[in-house]
Amino acid sequence: MALFESEESGLLAFAIGLVRQRGVAEELVQEAFLRLHELWGQVENPRGWLYRSVRNLALNHLRDHRHETPLDETHESARSAPESRPDEDLGRMEAIGMVRLLLAGMPAEDQELIRMKYHEDLKYGEISKRTGLGMGNVGYKLHHLLRGLADGLRHAGIEGSRG
């Protein structure tokens, strides 16, 4: 299935970011694809549905396994961010997951604008040359896309820089 090939690695990275256990993340992604297969004819946006499902499955897993953290991951978290707290980490990962979910629901050309600006770190002029949009239009579109993401996060109950 082409959808599996195109989305599996992104979903896996998303799930690992949420649960921080590769084996569990692989199971969650597999479960989401199995559920999608059962509902295939009823789902309008399979990519967005998959991200939402993985997020929900991950949150359910974290809730049900709240006190289970592998020893090596505990030490790794403590080494990389000594001031970080598990509840802050979970909030941050949930916010990242929600941004990915919101991005997945955007039209491809809007996703591409955000990717060029924030992943490739391109200036408006460079984006304008690549897309054929005027520089002012690039700025306008990015402004409204970011406002939409912020509104989506607020609607999901995620506010502030800490998630």
Residue 101 Cα to chain centre, angstroms? 5
Q: How confident is the model at residue 75 (pLDDT cuts 50, 70, 90)?
A: very low
Cα gap 39→43, rounded to integer Å: 6
Instruction: Quick: pLDDT tens for 11-58.
Output: 888 888 888 888 998 999 999 999 988 888 898 888 888 988 998 898
Mean per-residue pLDDT for 128-151? 90
pLDDT at 113: 92
Contacts of residue 86, Cβ cutoff 8 Å, sequence gap at least 6: 77
In Å, how far are 28, 30, 49 from 41, measured between CA atoms? 21, 19, 13
Q: Taking the CB of residue 66, how many other CB atoms lie within 10 A of it?
A: 10
Distance CA 30, CA 4 (A): 10
Confidence of residue 128 (pLDDT cuts 50, 70, 90): very high
